[in-house]
């Protein structure tokens, strides 16, 4: 048996560093969070080679006293907590006292710091956990960290790093998260000498969203401001038109900390469930303020995860806040005839995280517009074309430049006035402004509906003042049936319909066991099933809404879904998914004729739904087209 020995301090520090410092972005995260805790209002992060060879972080915070500089790099040295009780009410971003020790153990660190009361600053060098130099130096107030050659003394760890561009993109994403979580702080991020992100720190959260995600997403967000007991939620969520194939756009912050939490994720996505298509995820930028005593942030070494004392209550509050915010507004997407032309004038995204406008690109566009505006309108013809043709051409070019300059001025206005984008008053029909507060699916607007007819045997055209609405009859009817099934199930008012000829089904052993486990659930929903001998059973009655639509097949699908989910029992989540399938099968199909009276009745039923804008699978039931867009297409307006 090998002899048990104590590890030396250097080895201990390197092992501890493995928990905190995974890659360059880990270093940036820990040091920027320290800057925020130090009261900084401006933080600059500069990296080279993805942060592997060089990281510099500068802030204007309170700095560190000279006599405390060496001890700041000791393991478990921290100014954030002093006792076990402090762990219950942590309000700072850093508190473990492991960050500086871990970073210094695997890199070459130089620190320059000065407090407001000191005449001079302090320069401290520590490499691989070994102190090299401590001296006085002239310096501005605040702290600067220079971290060079990450993992220089642990080459095995360095092998697992990705390419410099990839590691740099991780830092770029981190800086976006930090900028979102602290709009009151000015952040500047530079990569290989180029500025990738530069926020003003004026506290305007929507402006940060615009800088990172662009105009199109910023226009499609809805504000949330909810307070319920010890929980408050503020921020923005995207309309269903803003969705992605992964969770990359789901941002939420708990007490100023960017975290991931399964309860919050599930509550948000469940709130969007009937608004988004399957495998699509929403955009969110939400701030949660929760009593620190009810949040455990001491779960993960890198503080990425949190745990709640009452997860069910948090879920309820978040789910209700998201679903209510989505149902408060009419979410009918408006179709534009010329989206390509509109997008051509959008700011170009920067390479990092694909969203930050490059300053030099913006400056170039502004310079081009100014040069165009300064040119005289009339010049001598430079070609053989008639002079009047060139005048028309230059006039349209100038008109376009004026429009773009007006657009840039609009973006510099306060955020609440910035969106939605306004068109020039002389080009915009007056009726469109009058229409903005009216909703298609509202009892007060019902008398304004004018059903024009049906096209392609599937879509109904409805005019209301200066807008044309197109209703997908299958998606709309599917949603009506789904909501009816859910309501009847919740209120236990389901009516069974007996079959003239009972359907006979044959079940294997697995299906038979699942049916027996959920027999009461099926009966409550309206199915009546009896043994028929051996493995065969008869379905004598079904829910009346499903009568005549392959009853036995729907029942088998319900059993199969239980087997696929591995749930064993028919949970509300599994059942809701099957209800969507049932509603789809029972709904009127595309290319199926409907009378005008049936279309009127369908609209009346949509009016009664909480979310009539999307079918159970997330597809839109209605889209709209404005008169203004039509007139643009026919060149009635320019």
Q: Output the DSSP codes for 482-499.
A: HHHHHHHHHHT---EEEE
* The pLDDT value given to residue 484: 78
Q: With contact defined as beta carbons under 8 Å apart, do 365 and 411 qualify? A: no
Question: According to the CATH classification, is domain 9-198 in 3.30.565.10?
Answer: yes
SS3 annotation, 556-589:
HHHHHHHHHHCCCCCCHHHHHHHHHHHHHHHCCC
Among residues 99, 79, 90, the alpha carbon closest in space to that of 297 is found at 90
Q: Return d(Cα 496, Cα 528) in angstroms, integer.
A: 8
Predicted confidence at residue 330, as pLDDT, reads 62
What is the pLDDT at residue 168? 94
Contact 285, 236 (CB under 8 A): yes
**Considering only CA atoms, which of 554, 589, 619 is closest in space to residue 477?**
589
Per-residue pLDDT at 545: 67
Closest CA to 182 of 37, 311, 298, 30: 37
CA dist list (Å): 88 to 82, 84, 258, 298, 420: 12, 8, 19, 9, 44
Burial class (CB in 10 A: 0-12, 13-18, 19+), 6: exposed
Q: Residue 555: CA atoms inside 13 Å, Cβ hemisphere, count?
A: 31
User: What pLDDT does residue 353 have?
Assistant: 37
For the beta carbon of residue 4, count every other beta carbon within 10 angstroms.
5
What DSSP string runs through 58-127?
EE-S----GGGTGGGGSTT--SS-SSGGGGGG--SS--SS-HHHHHHHTSEEEEEEE-TT-SSEEEEEEE
Q: Would you give the DSSP letter of residue 248?
A: G
| Residue given tokens 């060496």 in the structure block | 70
The pLDDT, as a whole number, for residue 374 is: 41
Residue with tokens 């299906």: 511
Longest CA span, the chain: 99
Q: What is the pTM of this model?
A: 0.60
β-pairing, 108-114 vs 295-296, is: unpaired
Summarised one tens digit per residue, pLDDT across range 323-345 is 888 877 666 767 765 544 444 33
In this prediction, residue 632 carries a pLDDT of 83
Judge whether 385 and 376 are in contact, CB under 8 Å: no
Q: How far apart are CA 253 and CA 431, in angstroms?
A: 41
Q: What is the CATH number of domain 205-327?
A: 3.30.230.10
Segments in the chain below pLDDT 50: 77, 79-84, 86-97, 339-398, 401-402, 404, 407-408, 411-437, 567
435-638 in CATH: which number? Answer: 3.30.1540.20
Question: For the range 376-384, what are the long-range contacts, defined as Cβ-Cβ under 8 Å and sequence gap of 24 or more?
Answer: none
């Amino acid at each position: 048996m090998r002899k048990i020995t104590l590890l030396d301090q250097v080895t201990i520090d390197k092992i501890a560093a493995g928990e905190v410092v995974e890659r360059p972005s880990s270093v940036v995260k820990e040091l920027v969070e320290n800057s925020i805790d130090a009261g900084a209002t401006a933080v600059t992060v500069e990296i080279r080679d993805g942060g592997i060879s060089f990281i510099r972080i500068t802030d204007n915070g309170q700095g560190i006293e000279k006599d405390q500089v060496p001890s700041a790099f000791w393991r478990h040295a921290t100014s954030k907590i002093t006792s076990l009780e402090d762990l219950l009410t942590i309000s700072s971003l850093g508190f473990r006292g492991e960050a500086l020790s871990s970073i210094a153990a695997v890199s070459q660190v130089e620190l320059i710091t000065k407090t407001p009361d000191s005449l001079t600053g302090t320069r401290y060098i520590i490499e691989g956990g070994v102190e090299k130099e401590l001296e006085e130096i002239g310096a501005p107030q605040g702290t600067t960290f220079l971290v060079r050659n990450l993992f220089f003394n642990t080459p095995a760890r360095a092998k697992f790093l990705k390419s410099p561009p990839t590691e740099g993109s991780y830092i770029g994403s981190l800086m976006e998260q930090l900028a979102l979580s602290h709009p009151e702080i000015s952040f500047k991020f530079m990569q290989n000498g180029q500025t990738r992100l530069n926020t003003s720190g004026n506290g305007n959260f929507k402006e940060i969203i615009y800088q990172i995600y662009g105009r199109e997403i910023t226009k499609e967000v809805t504000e949330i401001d909810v307070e319920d007991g010890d929980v408050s939620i503020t921020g923005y969520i995207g309309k269903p038109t803003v969705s992605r194939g992964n969770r990359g756009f789901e941002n939420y912050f708990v007490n100023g900390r960017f975290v991931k939490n399964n309860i919050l994720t599930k509550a948000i996505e469940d709130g969007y469930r009937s608004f988004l298509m399957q495998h699509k995820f929403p955009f969110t930028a939400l701030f949660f303020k929760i009593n620190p005593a009810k949040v455990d942030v001491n779960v993960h070494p890198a503080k990425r995860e949190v745990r709640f004392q009452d997860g069910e209550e948090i879920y309820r509050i978040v789910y209700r806040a998201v679903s209510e915010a989505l149902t408060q507004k009419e979410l009918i997407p408006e179709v534009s005839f010329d989206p390509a032309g509109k997008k051509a004038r959008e700011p170009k995204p920067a390479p990092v995280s694909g969203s930050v406008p490059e300053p030099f690109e913006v400056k170039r566009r502004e310079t081009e517009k100014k040069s165009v505006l300064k040119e005289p309108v009339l010049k001598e013809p430079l070609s053989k074309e008639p002079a009047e043709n060139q005048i028309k051409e230059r006039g349209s070019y100038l008109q376009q430049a004026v429009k773009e300059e007006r657009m840039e001025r609009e973006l510099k206005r306060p955020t609440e006035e910035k969106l939605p984008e306004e068109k020039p008053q002389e080009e915009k029909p007056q009726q469109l402004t009058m229409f903005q507060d009216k909703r298609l699916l509202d009892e007060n607007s019902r008398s304004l509906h004018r059903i024009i007819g049906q096209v392609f045997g599937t879509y109904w055209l409805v005019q209301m003042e200066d807008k044309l609405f197109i209703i997908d009859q299958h998606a709309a009817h599917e949603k009506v049936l789904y909501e009816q099934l859910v309501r009847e199930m919740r209120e236990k008012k389901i009516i069974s319909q007996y079959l003239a000829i009972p359907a006979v089904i044959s079940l294997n052993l697995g299906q038979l066991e699942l049916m027996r486990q959920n027999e009461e659930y099926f009966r409550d929903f309206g199915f009546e099933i009896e043994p028929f001998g051996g493995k065969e059973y008869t379905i004598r009655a079904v829910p009346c809404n499903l009568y005549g639509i392959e009853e036995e097949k729907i029942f088998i699908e319900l059993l199969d879904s239980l087997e696929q989910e591995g749930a064993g029992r028919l949970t509300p989540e599994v059942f809701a998914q099957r209800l969507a399938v049932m509603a789809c099968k029972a709904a009127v199909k595309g290319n199926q004729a409907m009378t005008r009276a049936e279309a009127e009745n369908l609209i009346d039923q949509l009016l009664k739904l909480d979310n009539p804008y999307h079918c159970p699978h997330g597809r839109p039931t209605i889209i709209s087209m404005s008169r203004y867009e039509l007139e643009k297409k026919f060149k009635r307006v320019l």
